[in-house]
Amino acid sequence: MRGSAELLDETRYNVVDLVKFSCTLYCLHDYVADVTALAGPSMLPTFNEAGDIVVVNCLHVKLSRPLEKGDIVIARSPTNPGNTVCKRVLGLPGDRILIQPQFWYQQEQVLEIPPGMLWLEGDNPFNSTDSRSYGPVPMALVKGLVVFKLYPLLEFGPLPRTYRKPGVIYPKLDMETGISR
């Protein structure tokens, strides 16, 4: 039978190992890469409405590597910092963006993206709350670059960089089929 001193030492070593493992996991998750599940219709047809699992490259942002138009990013929501959003970069600092009116009583306007900010929009412009609603997003809110789709398995692989012009009216997508009407 082991003594209480031996049990105490073994418990202490196990707790120290658990703390080390937790710290390592936290650093990997926050600074290197993250696996995230996506939900919502704003990025249709690039991502499904629910269930897509992606790999987010956090190191890209932490090393201050420049983002490019067409990159898909995970960012803290400007309107609710407790949530994250997945959007496509459509405007970089210094770009001029034509903002199409969302309602009949609004007018078109041109906006220049200020330094340190990005213009983010969802791929489904008819069902996305994005920079058209809350304006340019500070680069500091960007958590990482979405680089790989893990699930569903039929779509497994790296994400292609595609570019869509901001403010352009695109046909509405049927939510069930993903086909434009």
Active site residues: 42, 87
Rounded (5°) CA angle 64-69-40: 95
Q: Are residues 128 and 42 in contact, defined by beta-carbon separation less than 8 angstroms?
A: yes
Return d(Cα 45, Cα 168) in angstroms, integer.
16
Return d(Cα 175, Cα 68) in angstroms, integer.
29
DSSP-derived secondary structure letter, 132: H
Q: For residue 6, what is the enclosing H or E element?
A: helix 4-27
Query: Where do runs of H (alpha helix) occur along 102-153?
Result: 131-134
Dihedral (C-alpha) 168, 162, 178, 137: value to the nearest 10 degrees?
Answer: -60
- Strand, coil or helix: what is 82? coil
Read off the tokens for 165: 């012009």
- Look-up of token digits 């898909």: 72
